[in-house]
Structure 1
Amino acid sequence: MSDGTIGLVAAGFDDLSELETARRTHWGRWAAAVLIVAALALLVRAFAQGQIEWDYVGRFLTVPVIVSGIVATVEMAVCAMALGIVIGVAVAIMRLTPNPVLRGVAAGYTWLFRGTPVILQLLLWFNLALVFPTIGIPGVWSARAVDVMTPFFAALLGLGINQGAYTSEVVRAGLLSVDQGQYEAAQTIGMGRLQALRRIILPQAMRVIIPPLGNEFIGMVKTTSLASVIQYPEVLHNAENIYYANSRVIELLIVAGLWYLAVVSVLTPLQMLLERRFARGVARGRG
């Protein structure tokens, strides 16, 4: 025992510093790992030996109609998410305003669109002409609803307005995460409420808003598949049209699944980079 450790051993007790630490064998972990690997092996074997024509998967993976479908999917996801963010920010601000009327309207909007299925909302927008044959501004502009509510526009409204309800809660949580003192400091230097939100509160809230918002966007890419029920030509709808003709159902579903995985695989690292960008100031402040 070295001189440096003599003072660390209490009188009447043995020095245990030289004893080797026994490592515990986690048999449960090993058993779980073996079972998982075996299940994956059986799953791969089932797909490899099943009645799946993998040549069709490779053949239809890059056909123009599938590629145009994935382009339409990404386009709809971007447009609907942009609409959802605009609505969500506005509704979140309304939820935090002292005006009881605005708070009630915002709460009712969130309750309605979060409480009904997305596919139901898509069908309602697409069939709006059954309720309002003509839409527009009286004396200024009017048109037949059946001409206005195209699959693209109906999908945009259905997905975007629904997303706005969820985004509003994400933004509201981010705004509430900012210390109340920031609001008070903005008021002391003469800033109005909206100016303080734009220049002080929202920039600080972004580090809380960005991670769930990125997840919402990735979810939106997959949610666009529901627009196939109103004939919007996204990738799943186009894959369905092909397998209705050649009966290669599983092969075309695998093609659509691979494209969804590819898009999500590209978006995930982009989301991580965006999160790091907005978290840099926090990291420096803590250091």
Structure 2
Amino acid sequence: MKLDLGFIGSAFIQLLSALPITLLITFVSVFFGFLIGSAVAIIRIYRVPVIHYIASGYVTFIRGTPMLMHLLLIYFGLPVIIDSLAAALGWSFRSTSIPMIGFAFLSFSITAGAYLAEVVRSGILAVNKGQIEAAYSIGMTTPQALMRIVLPQALAVSLPNLSNSFIGMLHGSTLAFTVSVVEINAKAQIVATTNWKFFESYIAAAFLFWGVTILIEKITELLEKRINIYNRGGVR
């Protein structure tokens, strides 16, 4: 078999049209996953009665099961729940109105939430307890101390792990093709079917993912340098 370098370039250009969908899935999943993860991390750290056990069970279950399984459970289970409620309550809304990408958003956000919960929790625990005690001494409430003092420092400490989670969700977004969402992986298959050059098409997809990953790493490096400047007490 002869490698068609020209087709790799052609496929790469065609795959760019699927990049916005891949990035949208990644950004939405990480954003809502971060919100979920932050809430879960705080609940677990402060051991909120009853909810603490639910939060721990959520993290354990999601981290202990494959990402693809979460997507399939949401894809097949959510319509059953929605349609059952709609029939019981007389709603006109049906699960068929949900766009396919909506299942990916929900599933991947739930998945990201469990992993980011541990990232945020480790970041919060890395902050010196004396700082929150000092916040209490000047009259701050726990939410104020968390928002103004603890969480900003926790985010700085967690930045490398947050970057890894973002890259992980970027690569995990390829699973969205199982629910008919045309992201980069699905687009590579579509492009390849024109002349059965799957190898070249997947090489092009790999280069595209690689390029986006490098970009994320570079942005993370710049943020880390910026944070370190503030940590030294000045801005250049």
For normalisation by structure 2, the TM-score amounts to 0.91
SS class of match (1:52): coil
Q: 2:169 aligned to 216, 220, 234, which one?
A: 220
**Over the residues paired in the alignment, what is the CA RMSD in angstroms?**
2.1
SS class of match (1:100): coil
Counterpart residue number, 1:60: 11
Counterpart residue number, 1:160: 109
Counterpart residue number, 1:251: 200
Counterpart residue number, 1:229: 178
Q: 1:144 aligned to 94, 108, 115, which one?
A: 94
Task: Report the AA paired with residue 171 of structure 1.
Answer: V
Counterpart residue number, 2:51: 102
Match runs of 1:118-129 below 5 Å: 118-128=67-77
Unpaired runs of 5+ residues, structure 2, are none
> Partners of 1:216 and 1:133 in 2: how far apart?
30
Task: Report the AA paired with residue 283 of structure 1.
Answer: R
> Partners of 1:108 and 1:187 in 2: how far apart?
31
Deviation at 1:140, TM superposition (A): 9.5
Task: Report the AA paired with residue 53 of structure 1.
Answer: D
> Partners of 1:174 and 1:266 in 2: how far apart?
24
Identity %: 34
Q: 1:209 aligned to 158, 165, 178, which one?
A: 158
Deviation at 1:206, TM superposition (A): 2.0
Deviation at 1:130, TM superposition (A): 5.6
Greater per-residue helix proportion: 2
Match runs of 1:67-86 below 5 Å: 67-86=16-35
Name the stretch that deviates more: 121-130 or 182-191. Answer: 121-130
Q: Is the 8 A contact 1:136 1:143 kept in 2?
A: no
Q: Is the 8 A contact 2:167 2:216 kept in 1?
A: yes
> Partners of 2:144 and 2:91 in 1: how far apart?
35
Q: 1:186 to 1:254 in 2, by over 3 A?
A: same
Deviation at 1:128, TM superposition (A): 2.5
Task: Say yes or no: does 1:173 pair with 2:125.
Answer: no
Unpaired runs of 5+ residues, structure 1, are 1-49
Counterpart residue number, 2:221: 272
Counterpart residue number, 2:145: 196
> Partners of 1:51 and 1:141 in 2: how far apart?
58
For normalisation by structure 1, the TM-score amounts to 0.75
Task: Report the AA paired with residue 147 of structure 1.
Answer: S
SS class of match (2:132): helix
Aligned length: 233
> Partners of 2:40 and 2:107 in 1: how far apart?
17
> Residues 103-134 of structure 1: CA distance to partner in whole angstroms, max 9, x if unpaired?
11210110111111000111111223563252
Q: Is the 8 A contact 2:11 2:188 kept in 1?
A: no
Deviation at 1:136, TM superposition (A): 6.6
> Partners of 1:135 and 1:176 in 2: how far apart?
43
> Partners of 2:85 and 2:121 in 1: how far apart?
33
Q: 1:256 to 1:204 in 2, by over 3 A?
A: same
